[in-house]
Amino acid sequence: MKIPDCFENLVRNGLVDEVVTRLMSGKEADVYVVLSKGELCCAKVYKNASTRSFSQLAQYQEGRKGRNSRQARAIQKNSKYGRKEAEEAWKNAEVEALRTLAHAGLRVPHVYEYCDGILLMEYIVSKDGSAAPRLNDLRLTSDTAREYHSEMIGNVVRMLCSGIIHGDLSEFNVLVGSDGLVIIDLPQAVNASGNNNARAMLERDVENITSYFGKFAPELLSTEYGKEIWKLYAGGKLTPDYHLTGVFEQSDRPADVKGVMREIDYARVLHERTLARAT
């Protein structure tokens, strides 16, 4: 096919020899199969903010670390430079998440290059060598659904232990490759310890995949892995090999409202003293 203009710099720099076909068009990017240095790989071309349809961007970016304080201030002020930096940070987030998760041993596409808003990464194939299907494209037996569900719950745990929550995990963002399940699409990856929405997103990710596998193995629908995982994580007890039960027991201990108010008053006094010293 004719090489799209967006690949001009990659072709000039010898990173792309040929654009074979467009594999898919998503809400935040278009994905192409390209020939790079004689090998097939995927090229993910991120859409600009003006055309990207991913909603509620701010809640995903909360807690992400910028390159420096100047970038962070600019993003917070929403200046022209800040919007440019926020857009670049959104695109870089997937590269960083993929590398972090690969280092932690999760099966994600291998990153080759990132240049001019285009991510060159591993082309995931099925056992017959064709493009790997998404989970959504398959009909599963109950045994396979339970096996895949267990694997995905383990992946969610390992991601969380690496400080990352997918944030948009579903049957549409998992490929069934020749060597098993492969997690994809991570530009919205959430910083687990720095985002106020982390718990809700973690539980939603687990609910999404459980609802899908529950179509084939209905007994999975009664599990509560998301709540169990977060409780262990918040308590500092979660490890990659922790044996989960899928059972969650809500604490019936009343909240210590007076204790919380004391802590708030203490923090307020400290803040007022700090301001007094500064003036």
pLDDT in tens, 65-117: 555 556 556 555 656 666 666 677 777 889 999 999 999 999 999 999 998 88
**By residue range, what is the domain housing residue 60?**
5-234
Q: How many CB atoms lie within 10 A of CB 244?
A: 16
For residue 250, being part of any structural domain is answered with no
pLDDT in tens, 215-251: 999 999 999 999 999 999 999 999 999 999 999 876 5
For residue 85, being part of any structural domain is answered with yes
For residue 12, being part of any structural domain is answered with yes
Dihedral angle, C-alpha 236, 242, 248, 254, nearest 10 °: -20
pLDDT in tens, 121-146: 999 999 999 999 999 999 999 999 99
For residue 246, being part of any structural domain is answered with no
SS (H, E, C) 194-224: CCCCHHHHHHHHHHHHHHHHHCCCHHHHHCC
Residue type, 133: P
pTM over 0.85? The answer is no
**Cβ burial 49-77 (10 Å sphere, 16+ → b, else e):** eeebebeeeebbbeebebeeeebbebbee
- Mean pLDDT, rounded, of the chain: 86
For residue 38, being part of any structural domain is answered with yes
pLDDT of residue 90: 73
Q: Which of 43-57, 69-83, 172-186, 193-207 has the lowest mean pLDDT?
A: 69-83
Q: Which CATH number do you get for residue 158?
A: 1.10.510.10
For residue 50, being part of any structural domain is answered with yes
For residue 259, being part of any structural domain is answered with no
Span 200-208, mean pLDDT? 97
For residue 219, being part of any structural domain is answered with yes
Task: Give me the number of domains the chain comprises.
Answer: 1
Helix axis angle for 142-161 and 225-234, nearest 10°, is: 20
Say what percent of the chain tops pLDDT 90.
Answer: 64
Instruction: Give the dihedral sign, CA 247/151/27/60.
Output: positive
The Cα angle at residue 28 between residues 68 and 45, in degrees rounded to 5:
80
Residue type, 140: L
